[in-house]
């Protein structure tokens, strides 16, 4: 490989922001934060908003966030198409 053109590939700890779930994986992400993993070594830390622990596809629990009645507005607008 040519020197200086490839990103730094290393092990990174990914932590879910909404749960206490973490996993260690190889990545080229750059981050300033670090954490100590279960093996006692220190690794870079990346905090992700959604991981497989909280994503509805993997958990089977879908959450619908409807803060302004958007679903009802959509359903009433397109109700004539749904009746056919």
Number of domains present in the structure of the chain:
1
- On whether residue 4 sits in a domain, the answer given is no
- On whether residue 19 sits in a domain, the answer given is yes
Q: Alpha-carbon distance 52 to 60, whole Å?
A: 11
- On whether residue 1 sits in a domain, the answer given is no
Around 19, how many Cα atoms within 13 Å sit in the side-chain half-sphere?
Answer: 11
**Model's pTM, two decimal places?**
0.62
- Residue 16: CB atoms within 10 A of its CB come to 18
Work out the mean pLDDT of the chain and round it to a whole number.
81
Contacts with 41 (C-beta within 8 Å, 6 or more apart), sequence order: none
Out of 2-6, 64-68, 74-78, pick the least confident.
64-68
- On whether residue 16 sits in a domain, the answer given is yes
Which pLDDT tens digit goes with each residue over 25-65? 999 999 999 999 999 999 999 998 877 777 666 556 665 55
- On whether residue 71 sits in a domain, the answer given is yes
- On whether residue 2 sits in a domain, the answer given is no
Residues recorded for the chain: 84
Range of the domain at 14: 10-82
- On whether residue 3 sits in a domain, the answer given is no
């Amino acid at each position: 490989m040519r020197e200086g053109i490839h990103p730094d590939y290393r092990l990174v700890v990914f932590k879910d922001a909404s749960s206490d779930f973490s996993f260690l994986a190889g990545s080229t992400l750059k981050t300033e934060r670090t954490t100590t993993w279960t093996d006692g070594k220190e690794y870079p830390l990346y905090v992700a908003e959604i991981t497989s622990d909280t994503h509805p596809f993997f958990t089977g629990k879908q959450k619908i966030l409807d803060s302004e009645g958007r679903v009802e507005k959509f359903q009433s607008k397109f109700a004539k198409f749904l009746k056919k």
